[in-house]
Every structure is written in structure tokens, then in C-alpha cells.
Structure 1
Amino acid sequence: MKKIYKLLTVLFLSLSLTSCLNEWLTVNPKTDMTRDILFSTESGFKDALTGVYIQLKSGNGYGDALTMTTIEHLVTSWDVTSATTQQRLNQFLYTDAGVETAMSSIFSQQYSVIASINAILDQIDNKKDIFVTDKMYELIKGEALALRALCHLDILRLFGPVPTVTTADNILPYVKTLSREAVPHLNFAAFKTELLKDLNDAEQLLKVADPVQNYSMLDLRRPGPTYTFNPTDTYFAFRHIRMNYYAIKALKARAYLWFGDNTNAFANAKEVIDAKNSDGSSKFTLGTSADMTAGNLNLPSEHIFAVYEFSLLTKYNNMFANGTIKKGSAETTIKSQLYGNTGTDIRETYLWELITQANQAKTYIIKKYKVNDAPTNMTTDYRQIPLIRIAEMYLIAVEAAPSLSESQAYWSTFRTARNISVSTLPVDPAMLKDEVMKEYRKEFYAEGQAFFNYKRMNLPKNKILYASTSASVVLNYIVPLPKTELINTNK
């Protein structure tokens, strides 16, 4: 047990490693020798990829801004104070100085992660002969390619056009190299091509290297000689917090849906839903009331890919438990407006709590990140922020299935797991999307997915739950590029 926690500490908690990596991976001639030293061994590549995962959970990335706060303020998920950056995010006032800073920070953070990934990919093929562990080269390269696609996709979803309203104009850079030269912007179609190539290449590499296909997620949480999974190197373990093979398939489903390719979106989502362990059980299962009553409020059985946050309970206490981030004081705000006052929906029943703040004001807080801070073993350590869940795959399948009967089957399974009545899907595609969007809003609260799906569907203001009354009637879903970019780009 102590050995496993020591491993996780090395993998995900070493802030000093991040600092060192930032120094190692800076693109200038003075550090070329340092990079050569880092990438002269297999362990150096492992350390570099570990640094990428640490960067992912930055406050300007998936540890906060792209999951819990900034991105959620765009859809008014939280109560705000007047004349603050948070309120101006609600109003889509992108020219506000505070909003510009918030968006610029996300932009630069994503490209900073991409730079670290590119440092790995710049060296890995030329250093293939230094890999001594079977399949380690394929594992690291595959993960790096897919992580590069993940970061670029969210840059596109935030700063790019509404996907149903695109032109041939250049929009964003797809950065694949380490260079001091300007990186040209690509148009939507070219950006899509580069992103899908990274995902396809990553899939082929992890298809032969990732143990996730042969072992359950539980097995991969507890590697060792006394367990089913006993790898030659524990770097092959903990696939739930690594970009694994099924995470790539799920990311492809998300990307294809963004690009309007329902056929491929459905095919990839279905593969993840249908994934089985050797005993025939499902690899990823929809959470139920049993998970909620057990205190697993972030539904870890659904996590296809998550970032590990050792201090998640501290983050919860500092952000949510004290009412800093809150939503409404009346039952109607959450129970009625969000969930329809079903009285049975497990999200309605278990995820929210009415608290009394220090000033005696009452308010609702979400408990999704209230985790056990002292798990007895790795199999119950759920201190993770989900980036892709099986619930999303079900909703993609509902929306993208080739027939209404197939859509209805996935819809029924999903709603049954959430303990709500199984409604009949409308025949009209636009109305069906409206029903799916309602579930995205309920399901991914504090996970950062609602804004992206409102944007993907290009929904008007009156379709956005909690939309700010002071926001423009015609919403501007396209966040402007930062005035000062922290990477070299040009059009």
C-alpha cells in the first residue's frame, strides 16, 4: 500500500518536477543539452509525460478553470456578485479586462501543455532504441499524441467557431513542433484533419500497448505480485487517470460529434459502452443510487479518463463547502429548474446540499467533489476530477444513433440508472437534441461540458438554463483569441 501511494506521489504530486520540466522543456538553445539529458533514458520520457499530467490539473486548466469555475460561469452555473469578472463571464462580455485575463490564462495554459507534449514527441522516435521495457515506447507516444489532441480540441471548442457555422478562414494553430518560428493558423477543416490524425495514430499505438483492454479498471488500480495485474513496470497501471485506449475512443466520439459526423461519433461511443472485461462484465458502468449512498458522488465507475487530485477534498472545502461557489437559496433553483422536481433523480437527491453560511444566509452547494480524503487502499481512492465519463458516451449514442429505436434503448438505460422515469424520445431531431441537452446540463454540472454543448448545438439564449438576463439576446459563443498570445502564432 505504501509503495503504491509513493508511486502516485511521484507520478502526480511532485510540483518540483513540474518546475524542472518547465525549465527543461523551454525552447531555446541554452537548454538543448538539458533536454538531451532528460530524453536520454526511458525514465526521462516517463518523467516528462508525468509532468504533462501534472500540468493538466493546473488551476488554469482541468483542475479548476476548464471544469469547475471559468467555463461554468459562461453558462451561469454559479451565483455571482455584481460588477465582477464572474458576472461578465455570464454576460459574454469578452472585452472586459478580467474576462480577457481569464480566457488568456486558459489559452496559454493549454498551449503550454502542448509544448511539453511536443518536447516528448520531438525526441521519441529518434530515441526509440533507448526504451528497454516492452511496449513502453508505444504507450508513451500514444498517450502524448492523444493528450495533444485533447488540449487542441478544447481550444477549438472554446476559441473556435460554432461547428455548424464554419468558413474557410484560418482560426487557430495546431501546434505539432517545438520551434521559435511563428506557427500558422489553420482553417476549421485543416485543424480537424490534424486532430483526428493524432487520435487515430494514438489509437493504433495504444491498441497494442495498453493493458486496459485485458484487465479491469479495478485490476489496474491495484498492481502487484499478489493481484491479477502484475506488470513489469507500474507505469502501465492506473489507467483510469491516464489517457488510455478507451479514453481515446471516447475522445474520438466527442470530437466526431463536434464535427457533425454522427456515424463515427456513434461507432466510437458504442465501442466504449460495449467494452467488456474478461469475465463479461462491463468495463465502465453507469453510476446508480448505490454509488451515491456509498459516498462516491463523482461516480468513479463511470470515469474513462480523469485527473488525479490528491488535495481534492481541500479544494472542495475551500471552494464549495463554505459556499464560495454556490447556486441559489430556493428549492426551485435546483430541484425544480434543473431536475424537474422528480423526487427520485439520484443527482437531485444526493448531489446538492442546502447549507447555512457564516453570515446565516442559506444556499445550495454541489457535493460532487466531496471525496474520502483518507482511503484505506487504492481501489477506493476516488480523488479524481472526471474529464470523460461513460454517461457522455450514452448521451452521444442517444443523439447520434442511426435509428430512433437505438436512441431510445440508450436513453432508457441512462435514465434508469439515474432513477428517473423512462420517457419516449421525440421523433423530431431538434426536439430530441433539446432533451439530450437537458441531461448534459444536469449530468456535467461543475465538469465544464455544458457550455461546449450549448455552443455545439448553437442554442439560443432562451434554451440556456440560468442564462443571465443581462446577457445579449444573441449569444456570442466564440471567445476571442487573446490579444497577446504566449506562443508564436500568426495568420
Structure 2
Amino acid sequence: MKYKEIIRQVIVSIFILTILSQFYACKKWLNVLPENETEATALFSTERGFQEALSGVYTLMSEPELYGRELTFGFADVIAQQYGSLHETSPYFYTQYFEFKSNQSLQLSNSLWKKQFNAIANVNNILAFIDKNESVFTSETTYALIKGEALAIRAFLHLDLLRLYAPHKIANNTTEKWLPYVDEFSKNTSQSLSYDAFMDKLLIDLSNAEKLLKVDPILTGKTLTDLYFKNRQYHLNYFAVKGLMARAYLYRGNLKQEAFNCAKEVIDAQQNKGLFPFVQVVDATNVERNKRDRTFSTEHVFTLNIRSLQTFITGYVSQVQSGLALIPREPLNDLFEGYPDYRKEFFESDGTVQSVPSKLWQVDPLKKYTYKMPMIRITEMYYIAAETTDNPTQALSYLNTVRQARNIPVGLVDPDPEMLKTEILKEYKKEFFGEGQLFYYYKRHNATDAGSWTQPFKYVLPMPEDEINFGDRPRPN
């Protein structure tokens, strides 16, 4: 679907005012998106209106077509070959074989594209009003926080579109233009950009977000009275932006030092400030299974609060159903190498089905750990630092820090670069199971497949046919 059509839908359709039981990191959450320009003007006439609109974007990100399922444990992990052979009744049956032109795969891919750009359109609507309405904010700090988050979300969403719908730079050494970086709320069709031009715009957004978020309470330690700005892990906060910058610099392919510096800043926040601490043993291995911190929530640098997560996982990785169940392809003893790794605890029996990924199960009776879908983890920063440092001994130290935190008693001692690469890949397989990050690791390294008995990788999803025909986008081979 063309971005122009998405903009039209955003303008002519109003999302129902919904009062959820919890504001996004507050007491209530009004999901308000404007029906037309008059309503948009009214919405953005107060600081609360900007907050509600931004919460609406997080809501869109949490839908099953995006990070509520397909860009986490669903589509993205299927094409990473995380799961064993899927039944022909599975919605991912053709997708697992990279048959992206099947009706089944196209429906998933087209919905993903549409929803992602819908979220981007709503971010751009916020940004279209925020500077001219700066006077409605109660302080420069709250203005900077809202604008910084909006810019960061726009970059976050675009990066995943690039990682799915365009070749990686190592396979794209031409100036061919692939995707638009949509940075304005407009009915006009945005022009496609080359890989480098796209990444330039993305990194500018992140750089501007970083500057604005220097006032973030998670960095300054200052307390804001407005509850909206509490619980900063539920927002793309300052350190989440640094983590996203590390991810983006690494993916670009020629900015290893920049990636290392950003990852190191987040690691330092953990080691020096006590932020994002590794999960406690008692929380990871609680003898009362329903009280376990299954996603290691203290380690989330940025997480989505998905109130319908139980519904989204049902049939797939919870209360599994024939034809839907997503079971790991690799035997657990092979994946975890026989170690008493805490992460192995979260593959459990569900009825008669064994080794069901239970990380996302919503069983905590106190709701302390439920609804959380990790978007950026502190462990990813350790892996990026290990991959980008020029010091092999330091790389080993970063990996061993995570291994120790996961209860792996044996430390790595061989600093050989190929060995390090192998160990980082192992960590991605274990750490990000059900979170959608493994496919991008493979793509970044131009892997041919995921190992024995898997399909050869195809790395570029087809865009919707309307985008190719009317949006001047390239048609992938």
C-alpha cells in the first residue's frame, strides 16, 4: 500500500478513544489519533494531547502485525529458521521456505509494511505540530522528552523496514534506491533513497533525539511530577537511543568504533549507575514457576507494554495448538551445550508438547513481569561491544560477563576472531529466541543459511505491489 494511501487513512479515520487499565507507564492510557486537521489542531493544543498521541504510536507498535507478534516471535523468527518444520496449516508454512510471493507470505509482509508506515505517519503528525506548539508544554524538559522520543521511534521503525525490505550494504554496492525515509506528514509519495542516504537520515534523527534526551530522568536522575514520564524503560529513553544508535551503526557496516562507543555508554550505565541490572537468580529460577521473571525484565533498556500479549501468543507459544505451535529447530542440549543456562528454563512442556518457548507466558499472578516485550536489551550492548572492539581479550570479557550472568560456569579463553564470531552467533540464538533479532544478525553477516537442514536464506522481502507500481520502488529478484 502506498504511503499516500496510508496518510489518507490516518486523516479520514479516527481511532476509538480507548481508556485502558494503565496509561503507557502511567495510570491510564488514552489512545487518541486525530480524524482530520481540525481534530489534530485540538489534540495538539495541550501537552497531554502530545502524550496521548505518542502513547498511540506505542500502541500501534504493539499490535500483532508488528512487535506484538510478527516482528518478534512470529514472522521474523520464522525466517531466521529458529523453529522446526511447520505444519502445512501454519500461517508460516510457506514463509519458512522463503516463498515470499505466496499469498500467505504476502499477506503477512504487506500487513507489516502498512502497519509500520502507519505508525511512522502518526509520529510525523506529532512532529509536524510540536515545534509550532512548543508553548503548550509545561517545561522545556517535557517538550524535549516528547520530541526526542518521537524522533527515536521514527528511526526505530525505519531501521527495521530497511533490515527487511532492502539488501544489506555488503550485498548492495550500487547507488540503487530502495526505500523512502518518510520524515514529514504529507499526502505526497516519498522518494526512495539509496542505502547510505537512508541511513544518513536515520542517524540524523537519532543524533537529534540523543541531544534532546539529555534531559531524560533516566540520565539526569531528576524526578518529574507527571506520571507519564515515569518508568522510562517503557519509552525510547536516552539509553535506549544510545542502544539503537549502536545497532544502527553496526548494521551500516563501516562504523564499528561509533557502534562500540554507543554500546559502551549503555554498559557503563549498568556498571556505574546500576541501571538495567542482570536478572537475579531467584527471579530467573524461582521454584514457583508462575513467579519467574521470564523475560529478565530488569535488563530491558526499552520494552513495549503489550496488554494483549497473552492473546497474541496463544496457540503459538502458549496453550499451543496443532498447526500453530512454534517449537525450536535445534535440540535444547545442543543449543545450550549442556550448561545449566537460565535461558534453558524457559522451554517447557505445554500439555503434551515438549520444549515450548515459554519466555512470553503471562503467568505472574502479581502482573509484575507480564505484558513486557523486550525491544532493546543490555545484553545486546555486550554483544555489540564484543563484536566491534579491536581488543580480543576485551571481547572475551564482554561475552564472559553475559555467560556468567546466565549461569554458564565455563569462561571463553580463545580470542581467535572466528571463534568469537561463532560464540556471538550462539548467544544471539539463545538470548533473542522469540524476539526477532537473529535474522538481522544473519543478514548483516551475509550468512547463506542457519546451519544443517534449513533453507538457503533470502534476505529481501517484496514490497506491496502498489508501492512497486506507483511508488517508484525497485522490484526484488
Per-residue CA deviation, residues 391-438 of structure 1 (Å, 9 max, x unaligned), is 11111111111211111111111111111111224423x442222111
Q: Cα offset for 1:118? A: 0.1
What RMSD in Å do the two structures reach over aligned CA positions? 2.6
Aligned with residue 137 of structure 1, among 132, 138, 143:
143
Q: Cα offset for 1:33? A: 1.4
CA contact (8 A) 1:75 1:467 kept: no
Look up the equivalent residue of 1:351 and give its one-letter code: F
- Specify whether residues 488 and 134 from structure 1 end up closer, same or farther in structure 2 by C-alpha distance, changes over 3 A only: farther
- Specify whether residues 326 and 135 from structure 1 end up closer, same or farther in structure 2 by C-alpha distance, changes over 3 A only: same
Aligned with residue 411 of structure 2, among 404, 416, 422:
422
Aligned with residue 384 of structure 1, among 364, 372, 379:
372
CA contact (8 A) 2:217 2:223 kept: no
- Specify whether residues 487 and 412 from structure 1 end up closer, same or farther in structure 2 by C-alpha distance, changes over 3 A only: farther
Determine whether 1:263 maps to 2:257: yes
Per-residue CA deviation, residues 325-350 of structure 1 (Å, 9 max, x unaligned), is 54559xx94322322222x11112x1
Residue 97 of structure 2 corresponds to which residue in structure 1? 91
Residue 7 of structure 2 corresponds to which residue in structure 1? none
Per-residue CA deviation, residues 431-461 of structure 1 (Å, 9 max, x unaligned), is 4222211110111000001111111111122
Determine whether 1:40 maps to 2:45: yes
Residue 224 of structure 1 corresponds to which residue in structure 2? none
Residue 123 of structure 1 corresponds to which residue in structure 2? 129
Determine whether 1:479 maps to 2:476: no
Give secondary structure in 2 for the equivalent of 1:364: strand
Alpha-carbon separation, structure 2, partners of 1:320 and 1:256: 33
Q: Which runs of 5+ in 2 are unaligned?
A: 1-18, 287-291
Aligned residues: 444
Residue 355 of structure 1 corresponds to which residue in structure 2? 350
Determine whether 1:444 maps to 2:438: no
- Specify whether residues 487 and 249 from structure 1 end up closer, same or farther in structure 2 by C-alpha distance, changes over 3 A only: farther
Give secondary structure in 1 for the equivalent of 2:167: coil
Residue 226 of structure 1 corresponds to which residue in structure 2? none
Residue 321 of structure 1 corresponds to which residue in structure 2? 318
Q: Cα offset for 1:355? A: 3.4
Q: Which runs of 5+ in 1 are unaligned?
A: 1-5, 25-30, 216-228
Q: Cα offset for 1:282? A: 2.1
Give secondary structure in 2 for the equivalent of 1:305: strand
- Specify whether residues 153 and 488 from structure 1 end up closer, same or farther in structure 2 by C-alpha distance, changes over 3 A only: farther
Look up the equivalent residue of 1:287 and give its one-letter code: V
Residue 11 of structure 1 corresponds to which residue in structure 2? 24
Alpha-carbon separation, structure 1, partners of 2:226 and 2:452: 48
Look up the equivalent residue of 2:117 and give its one-letter code: Y
Mapping of residues 65-464 of structure 1, within 5 Å: 65-79=70-84, 80-82=86-88, 84-166=90-172, 167-208=174-215, 210-215=216-221, 231-260=224-253, 261-275=255-269, 280-287=272-279, 289-294=281-286, 295-324=292-321, 326=325, 333-342=330-339, 344-348=340-344, 350-357=345-352, 362-375=353-366, 380-420=368-408, 421-428=410-417, 430-461=418-449, 464=450
Alpha-carbon separation, structure 1, partners of 2:197 and 2:389: 27
If the length of structure 1 is used for normalisation, what is the TM-score?
0.84
CA contact (8 A) 2:234 2:303 kept: yes
Identical aligned residues as a percent: 34
Alpha-carbon separation, structure 1, partners of 2:98 and 2:326: 19
Give secondary structure in 2 for the equivalent of 1:275: helix
CA contact (8 A) 1:75 1:451 kept: yes
Q: Cα offset for 1:382? A: 4.3
Per-residue CA deviation, residues 292-334 of structure 1 (Å, 9 max, x unaligned), is 11300100111000000224345445432322354559xx943
CA contact (8 A) 2:124 2:185 kept: yes
Per-residue CA deviation, residues 50-81 of structure 1 (Å, 9 max, x unaligned), is 11111110111111110111111112323411
- Specify whether residues 105 and 425 from structure 1 end up closer, same or farther in structure 2 by C-alpha distance, changes over 3 A only: farther
Give secondary structure in 1 for the equivalent of 2:22: helix
Give secondary structure in 2 for the equivalent of 1:273: helix
CA contact (8 A) 2:155 2:206 kept: yes
Alpha-carbon separation, structure 1, partners of 2:470 and 2:24: 30
Residue 225 of structure 1 corresponds to which residue in structure 2? none
If the length of structure 2 is used for normalisation, what is the TM-score?
0.87
